[in-house]
Structure 1
Amino acid sequence: MSQHFLLSSKARTISVRKIASMSESECYEYFKSIRWSSNKGNPVCPTCGSASSHYFIESRLQYRCKDCFHTFSITSGTIFHSHKLDFKVILLAIVIFSNATKGISALQLSRDLDVQYKTAWVLSHKIRESLIEQKSDDKLSGIVEMDGVYVGNYIKPANNINDRIDRRKAFKPNKRVIISLRERNLLGSGAGKTKTFILKSENNVDINAIAKSHIAPNSEIHTDENSAYDDLLAHYDLKRVNHQIEYSGMNGENNNQSESFNARFRRLQYGQCHKLGTLYLSNYANEIAYREDTRRLDNKAIMDDILSRCLADNSISNEFCGYWQGNHRVAERLGA
């Protein structure tokens, strides 16, 4: 039996120890190499696009463009705009986030970085936000699996059995289902692209809307026998598996890759965060989708990819910049 990828040396190409041994100036140069990788790490004015006409204000770690006189920094216009943490602390947070294959709680991150819980919570959510904002909008095609995993429906029963209430048919206002779409790799090595959506229930209307917007016509879709997927047969080659009998059908019909997403999400829910609200559930779901899609990459490649997403132009956080001063998300993200 071959060795699991995470046990191999190929999976370990960066470490917390290596980042911790770097100086603040070295971390700053690393940020430069990622932010302006297309210009070999040399600054590019975010306003006029000039790649050479600027000078460095060393005391403020800022640049001033000689063409348009705009003053900018390495994090201007990015998810880390107006940051107060050192570059080294941010880089440590990203490598810790990258190494946590099943997610990490803000409380653990605050202990690892020796920062307040509030700081760690906002920082981790800014990273999650960058994963959402920079994800691809391309439609999935080929063989696509769909499945749902329910969250937010558990109420702890009373201690005495005579005091317990049967809530199985009761309305649960915070109950949500995460619908995962996973495109299989052509070479049979699991799934390569994953998309997630939050619904209040598995139903025909929402499932059809998601499929129409995110799955190419005539694709082959694999699901279980939930009736919410029945109407997909009209536009797609629908394959069903009866999970009461088997995990995989006689002709290979299964949604095991979506089940793999469900399993990893449960590890985040039960093992890390313990309780997830509805407001930011889409962020956590997309994080697990990203971890599933990058599970075969070494940790430095994952760290560099996350950092490049965080340093993308015009990606200032609208929901977490000034969060503790009252700038909150107004409503949860539901549907397609």
Structure 2
Amino acid sequence: MAQHFLLSAAARTLSLRAIYKAGEEAAYDTFRKMRWQDTDGEAVCPRCGHDEAYDIATRRKFKCKRCLHQFSVTSGTIFASRKMAFVDLLAAICITVNAAKGVSMLQLSRDLDCQYKTAFVLAHKLREAMALEVHTGEVLDGHVEVDGAYFGGHVRPENRKEDRKDRRLKENQSPRRRVVVAFRERYGRTLPIVVRAEAEGVPLALEHVHRLATMLADEASHWDALHAGWPVQRVNHSLVYSDHGKHTNWVESYFSRLRRMVAGQHHHVSPQYLHQYATHAAWLEDNRRTDNGGLGRRLVANAMGSPVSRNWAGYWQRAA
């Protein structure tokens, strides 16, 4: 039997040992080449676009020869005003892409020897960088599976039986409960969106799914409205999970990864940040056949192409 790709040596092209053995300068060069790919790491002014700059080596900064603007390799990116060494940033990216079900912030803070909040903010910045590939704005086409899964808002039953309430009723449910509606294109990408009710996935399909696509859904009644806009194939999960190509196994595979990430690694996810964890799981799921070195380079390139975070800038000053 052929060996699974993820178990082969071809899938292991990046390691923490190699990162720290190469050292800080090699990590810095990696960030430079990912920031300025067209010039192979030669600085380009982010203000005027001029490709000639003085190198202020003692401060790891550059000064544009045209507009005299001073900038660094992380200026204007998601890592702007960073204090962590480049080798540690690269190590954090390595740990993130190597964790198939995500990594807890406590573990990341221990691996990097930094504060918990530093690891928390860093991980969320990396998830914002992942969103560049997940939320591209392109509509899904072909065969598109849709489903929803509920997260958070668990209501504990009372200790005494006579004090317990029917948690199926809306008035007895937590307002923190959210639904991740996911559209997954077979042999394509996954698009997760956080909403309050699974039925909200119908209007979302109008925005994100091509009208010539074929949609696949389960027998939940709110998906009946999809028949008005698309050819729809339905599968009754109480009878069968797959019926001659009619199934939602691809989107269920995504939810399997997200559930294990939330329950097994993070244990609790605030509804305020659920969309970023959903994006993280979608990025891992869509790139599951890519070697970890390729994942690392892709995430560094995304981070270098992401603007300064509006959500996580000033987090230490309680601005987020």
Identify the TM-score tier after normalising by the shorter chain: over 0.9
Inter-partner Cα distance in structure 2 for 1:162 and 1:151: 27
Query: Aligned-pair distance for 1:245?
Result: 0.6
In 2, Cα distance between equivalents of 1:214 and 1:65: 42
Provide the residue aligned with 2:213 in structure 1: 219
| 254-263 or 25-34: bigger deviation | 25-34
Q: Which residue of 2 is the match for residue 110 of structure 1? A: 109
Counterpart AA for 1:83 = R
Using the alignment, how far apart are the partners of 2:162 and 2:10 within structure 1? Answer: 56
Indicate whether 1:246 and 2:240 are aligned: yes
Match of 2:15 in 1: 15
Describe how 1:26-37 pairs up with structure 2 within 5 A.
26-37=26-37
Instruction: Quote the Cα distance in structure 2 between the aligned partners of 1:118 and 1:85.
Output: 13
One-letter amino acid of the counterpart of residue 305, structure 1: R
Structure 1 counterpart of 2:55: 56
User: Match of 1:172, as an amino acid?
Assistant: S
Q: Deviations over 1:27-72 (max 9, x none)?
A: 1111111111111111111111111x21111121100001111111
TM-score (norm 2): 0.96
- Deviation of 1:256 after TM superposition, in Å, equals 0.4
Q: Does 1:262 align with 2:261?
A: no
Structure 1 residue runs of 5 or longer lacking an equivalent are 186-191, 329-336
How far off is 1:102 after superposition?
0.6
1:308 aligns with 2:310: no
Alpha-carbon distance in 2 for matches of 1:292, 1:223:
19
Q: Are the equivalent residues in 1 in contact too, given 2:54–2:62 (CA < 8 A)?
A: yes
Question: Does residue 231 of the first structure (1) align with residue 225 of the second (2)?
Answer: yes
Give, in whole Å, the separation in 2 of the partners of 1:309 and 1:151: 28
The residue identity in structure 2 corresponding to 1:295 is R
1:322 aligns with 2:314: yes
**CA–CA separation in structure 2 for the residues paired with 1:88 and 1:157:** 48
TM-score by length of 1: 0.91
**Displacement of 1:162 after TM fit?**
4.9
* Preserved contact between residue 54 and residue 63 of structure 2 (Cα < 8 Å): yes
- CA offset at residue 160 of structure 1? 4.8
Which amino acid in the other structure matches residue 293 of structure 1? Answer: D
Whichever residue aligns with residue 15 of structure 2, its letter is S
Post-superposition offset of 1:171:
3.1
**Structure 2, unpaired ranges of 5+:** none
SS of the residue 2:251 aligns to: helix
**Partner AA of 2:80 in structure 1:** H
1: distance between equivalents of 2:121 and 2:211?
Answer: 39
Deviates more, 1:229-238 or 1:125-134: 125-134
- 1:84 deviation in Å? 0.6
Contact 2:153 2:173 (8 Å CA) reproduced: no
Tell me which of 278, 288, 292 is aligned to 2:271.
278
Residues 16-95 of structure 1: pairs in structure 2 closer than 5 A? 16-51=16-51, 53-95=52-94
Report the RMSD for the aligned CA atoms in angstroms. 1.3
Distance 2:159 2:291 in 1: 47
Count of residues in correspondence between the two structures: 317
Once the two structures are superposed, residues 159-185 of structure 1 have per-residue CA deviations (whole angstroms, 9 ceiling, x without a partner) of 454554332212321111100111112
For residue 30 of structure 1, give the secondary structure of its aligned residue in structure 2: helix
Deviations 1:75-110 (CA, angstroms, capped at 9, x unpaired): 000000000111011110000001001111111100
Report if the CA contact (8 A) 2:155-2:174 is conserved.
Answer: no
Partners of 1:269 and 1:2 in 2: CA distance = 32
Q: Any idea what SS the aligned residue of 2:232 has? A: strand
Matched residue, 1:124: 123
Work out the percentage of aligned pairs sharing the same amino acid.
42
Residue 197 (structure 2) pairs with residue 201 (structure 1):
yes
CA distance in 2, matches of 1:155, 1:275: 13
Which of 254, 277, 289 is the matching residue for 2:282?
289
Tell me the secondary structure at the aligned position of residue 59 of structure 1. coil
Q: Quick one: which amino acid aligns to residue 175 of structure 1?
A: R
Report the counterpart of residue 186 of structure 2 in structure 1: 184
Give the Cα–Cα distance (whole angstroms) in 1 for the partners of residues 94 and 293 of structure 2. 8
CA distance in 1, matches of 2:6, 2:247: 25
Task: Measure how far apart 1:131 and its partner are.
Answer: 1.5
